[in-house]
Structure 1
């Protein structure tokens, strides 16, 4: 239940400071330690949940009663997986059929499926870490302060800012001059990341379930990573999801009806 003793009102600055202190060191350490330490990125996602728990339980003491503690309906999970497949597997299949991008290696469908199920299972907890923080806790606070669209855009911008260490690393790994590639990748990723956050928010809001948004989050990440690590991703695959998520996010931002908190199942 919600704690009646509130030490201080919610502060966005303090909340984000806690998250950055606890999660960014893992994102920053990863590129210096090498590819073998990529699991540090998963730890950074988990630390979003740890920071959120500290903020809600000990700092602001406003609790998590309406974060979305429902399982959702079976069809919600079907839609979540379907969207992840449409964003990544569909364009990859089109590339293969049209000969736009040939797989660099011959990998069986069974091997791809096994790899996906393994990585998907591992990613569920880190994915919950972000969903608990960004959708279950941060977004309702922003809804309480701002109008719906501004709250959604601000929460999306915050998630983009949180990914900045990873974006900087991606920019430095490009062949172009880092002083050009880093700002370029930051600029290109800005709108799609914000709009994707709107899609995440709609999944959470419409299903009233952190479980469903967590499953979509893990499915999105691991369909992408599994395909990239097995058959590879061509130019269509890499750009399709940004286009679709941008269009979908704008449509939801403009037309969707939003539930600003998730009802408690208790």
Structure 2
């Protein structure tokens, strides 16, 4: 229990300390916002490292979920799922939001994207129009999501080593899988408070509504990440899923209609309507026993004796 409290104190305390320049400066408009956000993403991993090294005194790689990764075929299969599932959930969230009338699409002219580009050009003092079809830019942005997912894996590890690498197994040992999945998601959401209370992700909501919605979002998506952690046996799959989700989260900009706005407390994967499909997925996974730890992979006897020789 001591290790858990030390971890929470370090991870939550450091998140506020790292974000302090935003509160003392111009908030999310602070020029170094991206740097601050990236540094904040490292705090859960740092907290986990300190706890494992100085409190638990256990082997780092296994305690943080960095191993095992073999057999390689299984590892890459889970990594493929980790990349694909968040993209499908983000896309499904837009379909659901559109069905509820919370999101207006333009899938032919992509007028919302054109409006966004025009506004960005105007802010830069550029008056020229795009010299290529808007559809080309849409395709390029979708391709960029693939690249961004891989790049985002690195900072996402900073969070996932803490949340799913260290925290989830410790909570599972103490409270069982169900409570561990829910509690780790809530803690993950609360950890975002230094940014969310400044308007991050939910710029049009009151601070308390924004934080409550962020906790809901993290609990739902965290359950999916927890499934990947439990079944893959390591932290790499949830880290890639985290990176994939971050890369695809702005997908609504590509397909929205001009002159409309999106309330992220209600629409996109961040809002309540976007949680419906992930909740159904989690329910199906739970009903089919997919939150049970994967069976250990034991090499054949002949292989064991050969290695020993």
The TM-score, its normalising length taken from structure 2, stands at 0.68
Structure 2 counterpart of 1:199: 224
Give 1:146 shift: 1.1
Q: Which residue of 2 aligns with 1:161?
A: 190
Which residue, 79, 83, 86 being the options, matches 1:84?
A: 86
Of 18, 23, 32, which residue of structure 1 is paired with 2:10? 18
TM-score by length of 1: 0.77
Q: CA deviation at 1:162?
A: 0.9
d(CA) in 2 for partners of 1:73, 1:160: 28
Question: How far did 1:228 drift?
Answer: 5.8
- Greater shift in the superposed pair: 189-198 or 50-59: 189-198
Q: In structure 2, do the counterparts of structure 1 residues 258 and 10 end up closer, same or farther at CA, with 3 Å as the change threshold?
A: farther
Q: Which residue of 1 is the match for residue 75 of structure 2?
A: 73
Aligned to 1:27: 19
Contact 1:45 / 1:129 at 8 angstroms: preserved in 2?
yes
**Secondary structure in 2 aligned to 1:201?**
helix
- Aligned match of 1:188: 213
Displacement after TM superposition at 1:38 (Å): 2.2
Q: Which moved more, 1:104-113 or 1:254-263?
A: 254-263
Count of residues in correspondence between the two structures: 252
Aligned to 2:130: none
Superposed CA RMSD: 3.5
What residue number does 1:4 align with? none
Any unmatched runs of 5+ in structure 1? 1-8
Q: Matched residues in 2 for 1:162 and 1:68: separation?
A: 22
- Match of 1:29, SS? helix
The structure with the largest alpha-carbon Rg is 2
Deviation sequence 1:12-41 (CA, Å, 0-9, x none):
211111112333322343463525322321
CA distance in 1, matches of 2:294, 2:49: 17
Name 2:126's counterpart in structure 1: none
* Structure 2 alignment gaps of length 5 or more: 99-104, 118-133, 299-309
* 1:148 paired to 2:173: no
